[in-house]
Chains A and B, each alone.
Chain A
Amino acid sequence: MAFELTKEKQELVKEVITHYPDPRSAILPAMHIVMDERGWVGDDGCQHVAELLEVPIIYVYEALSFYTYFPKHPVGKYHIQVCHNIACNLRGSEELIEHLVNKHGIIENALTDDGLFYFNRVECLGACGNAPVMQVNDEYYEDLTLEEVDKLIEGFKKSSGNGKNN
């Protein structure tokens, strides 16, 4: 099944194209709009973007394969990205990652069985003063402790109706 943005979002893409001297510049903005809609981009997202911008699809693939921010497959309801760079490392990101794996069974680069979580490491998120930091979907969570991570994960499970307490 081919992916399509809603009419409204398609208009938004058309509007964004006018900001630039050439439609090719709108590739990243358009992919961000696709990401907003379904959380990942993927092949059919590329195809749709290429059609909207009227650029060869290879241009879009080229970008997708370079920029790590766009997932190429579904990443669950909560996409957890933990910074493992230097400042976060100094303040305990490794323990945090171990905790996610060992206590919560959220394994790196894999969907959890319930399809809720997908977790991967990322490079510096530009919030080193509040290390350790993780990003869940669009939100930053800073100055994390293991207890806070527990609370967050429980909260996510509850709000999606899959938690044990439900």
Chain B
Amino acid sequence: MALEKIVFKGIDIPGNTDLKVYEEHGGYEQWKKILKDKITPEEVIEIVKKSGLRGRGGAGFPTGLKWSFVPQNTKKEKYLLCNCDESEPGTFKDREIIEKSPHQLIEGMLIAAYAFQGGVSYIYFRGEFVKGWKICEAALAQAREAGYIGENILGSGWNHQVWTHRGAGAYICGEETALINSMEGKRGEPRIKPPFPAVEGFYKSPTIVNNVETLTAVPKILENGPEWYHQWGTERSTGTKLWSCCGHISNPGVYEVPMGYSMKKFFEEELGGVWKDRALKAVIPGGSSTPAMTPEEFFACKMDYESIAEHGSMLGSGGMIVMDDQTCLVEVAEVLAQFYHHESCGQCTPCREGTGWVHRIIQDIERGQAQPDVKNVLFTVFDEIFGNTICPLGDSIVMPIKSLMDKWPEEFDYYIKEGKSKITGKARRPKKKEMPDNWRREKPFNYPKTEDYYTDFSKTAHSN
């Protein structure tokens, strides 16, 4: 394997979850330096701005610029929320960081919060990441013990506290305003912007939401300077990016790749090409919300924001999903549609109803029971959803599925016409039929009994 990790070298250092090991490799030096040399917050923001670091959570917004939006003429507390909700199918890079290099993330958070003068920060984990959460809790305890977090840090007079918070299985809480609502103990429903969180976020206070990968890159940028970060990539996409690669490839995993690297070279040398010596059919390059690419588009592009956009997709979160030539793309479309249908928060009608329409129509195709003009219906629904919703989740169902239908129309046409998959030769779902009279099972399933979990509130103090 040719590519070594650079900014995220910590992931490959054994035992790096321990404070001692991290310090041996130069850990917390930048944090100490900022406090000791009294580097001003403006200087920190300037360095990050110059480095060209852009948010790695999906949107790619310039990080230094975002921090500079926080109003300083306010008495309210300012908050930093680290987004470790990581639920976008195909994305699993943040998990590597929190499980293997948590201190670098914590140092990055301390520096980021200092840069916009935030006094409290939280790491929002997706509920399922129990292991990563425990590792980060242990790391935080060590950092508190060592005096990097808390009151009057290292004698500088600066106070900062870091807490963890666990989500509970809702993809939409990765969206920054939904994350804020979730942190307030509410349902994870996105808010209408503006006001942007940097001005009015967590409990109406200025709040910055940043992805784990973005924050983890910060200490290295301060250590080596913005020019060092600029040596990779292009004018607008600088530095390196973590790519999480999965699906039909020989070597799935997380890779750190300089921006602008050749996709073809990366695919062949690092990922080992398609598994089982099969041919490539399609790639979703940036997490399941981004449009699929044909092999021609995929091999022609470079691994940065602009090049991938020129070739018909988006870099997104860097979650690459590879599909070989035996993949039925109608099935892929169904799996994606059911995901977005399930995860829609339900606030906007186009998203709540539209995702359901798309999901049910594709299921009908898979039963061989679709109407002949069903593709037009789907395209109409896409038009109704796209751009008409509060948050980008609505667009997220449209982009991948529309791209599959646009770029591989024959597969959909065949399924609709013949009632079976062009690839597997079978219909994936049984036809819907009338229920026979005896459709109930003789012995019902052992569902949990209501009295096992139902509380009779009429017998408690709260009922009067």
Beyond the given pairs A44-B453, A68-B170, 12 more chain A to chain B contacts, judged by CB atoms under 8 angstroms and listed by A's residue number, are: A25-B185, A28-B166, A31-B168, A47-B455, A47-B460, A62-B186, A73-B448, A85-B89, A89-B331, A123-B169, A124-B88, A128-B319
B339 near A85 with CB under 8 A, answer yes
B91 at the interface (CB under 8 A from A): yes
B 321-348 contacts with A by CB, 8 A: 321, 323, 327, 331-332, 335-336, 339, 342-343
Residues of A within 8 Å of B127, CB to CB, are: 32, 67, 69
A126 near B92 with CB under 8 A, answer yes
Given contacts A2-B460, A87-B321, contact A129 B184 (CB under 8 A): no
Give per-residue flags for B181-210: 1 if the beta carbon is below 8 A from chain A beta carbons, else 0. Answer: 011111110000000000000110000000
B165 near A28 with CB under 8 A, answer yes
> Once bound together, how far apart are the Cα atoms of A15 and B113, in whole Å?
24
B323 near A90 with CB under 8 A, answer yes
B163 at the interface (CB under 8 A from A): yes
Residues of A within 8 Å of B332, CB to CB, are: 86, 89-90
A74 at the interface (CB under 8 A from B): yes
The smallest C-beta distance from B191 to any residue of chain A, in angstroms, reads 15
B453 near A74 with CB under 8 A, answer yes
B335 near A129 with CB under 8 A, answer no
The smallest C-beta distance from A114 to any residue of chain B, in angstroms, reads 9
> Once bound together, how far apart are the Cα atoms of A64 and B411, in whole Å?
41
Q: Count chain B residues whose beta carbon lies closer than 8 angstroms to a beta carbon of A.
A: 66
B87 near A124 with CB under 8 A, answer yes
Question: Which stretch, A105-113, A144-152, A154-162, touches the partner chain B?
Answer: A105-113
A74 near B448 with CB under 8 A, answer yes
Question: Which stretch, B42-50, B102-110, B248-256, touches the partner chain A?
Answer: B248-256
> Once bound together, how far apart are the Cα atoms of A112 and B445, in whole Å?
8
The smallest C-beta distance from A108 to any residue of chain B, in angstroms, reads 9
A57 at the interface (CB under 8 A from B): yes
The smallest C-beta distance from B318 to any residue of chain A, in angstroms, reads 12
B128 near A69 with CB under 8 A, answer yes
Residues of A within 8 Å of B128, CB to CB, are: 69, 125-126, 135, 140
The smallest C-beta distance from B51 to any residue of chain A, in angstroms, reads 28
Q: How many A-B residue pairs have CB under 8 A?
A: 182
A14 at the interface (CB under 8 A from B): no
Residues of B within 8 Å of A25, CB to CB, are: 165, 183-185
Chain A residues packing against B (C-beta within 8 Å)? 1-3, 19-22, 24-29, 31-32, 40, 42-44, 47, 55, 57, 59, 62-63, 66-70, 72-75, 84-87, 89-91, 107, 110-113, 115, 122-131, 135, 138-140
A129 near B448 with CB under 8 A, answer no
B168 near A69 with CB under 8 A, answer yes
Question: Which stretch, B67-75, B239-247, B303-311, B391-399, touches the partner chain A?
Answer: B239-247
B453 near A43 with CB under 8 A, answer yes
Of the listed residues B131, B186, B323, the one surrounded by the most CB atoms of chain A closer than 10 A to its CB is B186
Identify the closest chain A residue to B342 (Cβ). A123
> Nearest 3 CB-CB pairs, A to B?
A69-B169, A67-B168, A69-B168
Given contacts A90-B247, A110-B447, A129-B253, contact A124 B89 (CB under 8 A): yes
Residues of B within 8 Å of A91, CB to CB, are: 247-248
Partner of A123, one of B122, B244, B343, B452: B343
Identify the closest chain A residue to B284 (Cβ). A86
Identify the closest chain B residue to A16 (Cβ). B163
A87 near B89 with CB under 8 A, answer yes
B182 near A28 with CB under 8 A, answer yes
B420 at the interface (CB under 8 A from A): no
> Once bound together, how far apart are the Cα atoms of A140 and B187, in whole Å?
26
Residues of A within 8 Å of B327, CB to CB, are: 90
Given contacts A21-B203, A69-B169, A86-B336, contact A129 B455 (CB under 8 A): no
Task: Show 7 A/B contacts (Cβ-Cβ < 8 Å), sorted by A.
Answer: A24-B185, A29-B166, A43-B454, A69-B168, A86-B335, A86-B336, A110-B447
Identify the closest chain A residue to B336 (Cβ). A86
